């Protein structure tokens, strides 16, 4: 149970993070992103939705532009300026060829060696049920890493000038209950807190706690737990699928 996590590979230049919703990358992952951009690596974000169904008191029409704005601000805190949205519908993202094609297109465009996504499994471990959007996007991202390299699966992408990219070496899944690797969060943790605080409207709808107190407590707690398996340093865990 106390197997140590391995350090994440560092021999890459470009990563693409693909998730379902604004805030998915800020609940832990962004501390690793901060460390990577500090080291001169390039990271781009791709979101399947604008998180428009995420706030009970706001209609999707009001919510979408607001959450997009908060996501862009949040990405900027950890050195990410490329943030794109696929406009699938929040809450009912469907796993299937159209989603795989959209993600494969982005992989061909960005040509990353590392792809990041969020937990694609049914649960977060034990009986904590995951959401269908995370499952759909996580699975489609794992699949799209291969689709991006195959010229025959989505021939329409080549017609759009997107040539196959078979250079993805790893797909790293955040939030997995069976992680294999970790990234030191010591230097990125404070910026991760600020990146989560940037989702202020969402957090204020979620809790009465002060957003910064809430974000710091959550992220410090998770990074500390991962750190118990990573030499005692606060860390972000990933389950790494090698290709
Ligand atoms: Zn989410």
Q: Calculate how far, in angstroms, residue 10's C-alpha sits from the geometric centre of ligand 1.
A: 27
Asked whether the predicted pLDDT for residue 2 surpasses 80, the reply is no
Q: Calculate how far, in angstroms, residue 75's C-alpha sits from the geometric centre of ligand 1.
A: 15
Q: Calculate how far, in angstroms, residue 188's C-alpha sits from the geometric centre of ligand 1.
A: 21
Query: In the prediction, which pLDDT does 68 show?
Result: 97
Distances (CA, A) of 59 to 93, 197, 227: 18, 22, 39
Q: Calculate how far, in angstroms, residue 161's C-alpha sits from the geometric centre of ligand 1.
A: 31
What is the pLDDT averaged over residues 140-160? 97
Q: Calculate how far, in angstroms, residue 135's C-alpha sits from the geometric centre of ligand 1.
A: 10
What is the pLDDT averaged over residues 23-42? 97
Distances (CA, A) of 166 to 7, 104, 138, 144, 236: 24, 11, 19, 11, 27
Q: Calculate how far, in angstroms, residue 235's C-alpha sits from the geometric centre of ligand 1.
A: 21
Ligand 1 (ion): residues with CB under 5 Å are 20-21, 24
What is the pLDDT averaged over residues 164-175? 98
Distance CA 163, CA 90 (A): 29
Pure H helices in 58-150: 60-77, 97-110, 132-147
Q: Calculate how far, in angstroms, residue 165's C-alpha sits from the geometric centre of ligand 1.
A: 27
Q: In a 3-state reduction of DSSP, which class is residue 47?
A: strand
Q: Calculate how far, in angstroms, residue 24's C-alpha sits from the geometric centre of ligand 1.
A: 5
Q: Calculate how far, in angstroms, residue 152's C-alpha sits from the geometric centre of ligand 1.
A: 31
CATH topology for 13-242 is Rossmann fold (3.40.50)
pLDDT tier, 3 (very low <50, low <70, confident <90, very high otherwise): confident
**pLDDT tens by residue, 203-217:** 999 999 999 999 999
Query: In the prediction, which pLDDT does 85 show?
Result: 98
Max distance between CA atoms of the chain, in angstroms, equals 51
**pLDDT tens by residue, 227-240:** 999 999 999 999 99
Query: In the prediction, which pLDDT does 1 show?
Result: 53
């Amino acid at each position: 149970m106390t197997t140590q996590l391995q350090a994440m590979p560092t021999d890459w230049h470009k990563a693409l993070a693909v998730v379902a919703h604004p805030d998915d990358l800020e609940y832990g992952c962004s501390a690793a992103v901060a460390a990577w951009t500090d080291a001169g690596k390039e990271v781009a974000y791709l979101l399947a939705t604008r998180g428009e169904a995420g706030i009970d008191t706001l209609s999707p029409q009001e919510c979408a532009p607001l959450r997009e704005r908060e996501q862009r601000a949040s990405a900027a805190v950890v050195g990410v300026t490329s943030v794109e949205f696929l406009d699938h519908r929040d809450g009912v993202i469907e796993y299937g060829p159209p989603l795989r094609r959209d993600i494969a297109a982005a992989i061909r465009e960005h040509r990353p060696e590392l792809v990041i996504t969020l937990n694609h499994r049914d649960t977060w471990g034990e009986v904590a049920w995951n959401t269908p959007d995370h499952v759909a996007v996580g699975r489609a991202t794992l699949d799209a890493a291969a689709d991006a390299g195959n010229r025959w699966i989505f021939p329409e992408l080549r017609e759009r000038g997107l040539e196959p990219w078979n250079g993805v070496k790893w797909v790293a899944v955040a939030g997995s209950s069976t992680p294999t690797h970790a990234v030191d969060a010591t230097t990125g943790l404070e910026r991760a807190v600020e990146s989560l605080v940037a989702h202020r409207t969402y957090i204020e709808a979620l809790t009465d706690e002060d957003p910064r107190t809430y974000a710091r407590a959550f992220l410090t707690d998770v990074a500390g737990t991962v750190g118990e398996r990573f030499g005692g340093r606060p860390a972000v865990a990933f389950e790494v699928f090698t290709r």
